[in-house]
């Protein structure tokens, strides 16, 4: 199963593509970011995000996607922009026929580190270790997307997921 992890945004959207056999054997295939130029009007940036994500799924051919749910911090203005970006991302994935699974930051931390309140650096380091990477992926948005994909891969190997498949 090819899993496309997405760390949503509108300026920078991280992505990570894993291949998982459903038995805990996961392999990182590709990662990076989709960016939009800050000088463009916001609606144009959303259009670029949609087009680039559509091209990404066409090229990478994921079976499923895992998208992080938003955590509302202190900056509401940024949160609203990211929400718009996330909506465009969900639309692009759905129009491409890619099933979407959503995970909270706490679920990602729990699945990757084993502790829902783990620090970001712990998640990044454990992701590196689990996928046998030489170094942590950069930028952070890409590293986060890889962790989100890994969260889905690990949740699909859980006993509950196996019972649902039988």
CA distances from 126 to 106, 136, 146, 156 (A): 15, 9, 11, 18
Burial class (CB in 10 A: 0-12, 13-18, 19+), 60: middle
Cβ atoms within 10 A of the Cβ of 46, count? 20
Query: Which residues contact residue 123 at a Cβ distance below 8 angstroms, ignoring those fewer than 6 apart?
Result: 108, 109, 112, 113, 144, 147
68 is an active site residue: yes
Catalytic residue among 47, 55, 68, 144: 68
Helix (H, G, I), strand (E, B) or coil at 23: coil
Contact 29, 153 (CB under 8 A): no
Work out whether the CA dihedral 61, 30, 79, 100 comes out positive or negative.
positive
63 is an active site residue: no
Catalytic residue among 47, 52, 119, 141: 141
Beta bridge partners of 68: 103
Q: Give the residue numbers annotated as catalytic, written as ranges.
A: 7, 68, 141
């Amino acid at each position: 199963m090819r899993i496309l992890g997405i760390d949503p945004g509108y300026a920078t959207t991280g992505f990570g593509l894993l291949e998982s056999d459903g038995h805990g054997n996961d392999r990182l295939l590709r990662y990076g970011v989709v960016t939009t130029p800050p000088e463009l009007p916001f609606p144009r940036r959303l259009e670029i995000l949609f087009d680039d994500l559509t091209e990404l799924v066409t090229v990478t051919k994921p079976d499923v996607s895992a998208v992080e749910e938003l955590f509302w911090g202190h900056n509401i203005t940024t949160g609203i922009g990211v929400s718009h970006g996330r909506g465009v991302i969900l639309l692009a994935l759905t129009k491409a026929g890619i099933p979407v699974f959503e995970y909270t930051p706490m679920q990602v931390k729990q699945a990757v580190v084993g502790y829902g309140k783990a620090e970001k650096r712990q998640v990044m380091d454990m992701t590196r270790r689990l996928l046998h990477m030489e170094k942590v992926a950069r930028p952070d948005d890409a590293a986060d997307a890889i962790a989100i994909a890994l969260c889905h891969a690990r949740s699909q190997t859980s006993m509950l997921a196996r019972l649902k498949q039988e």
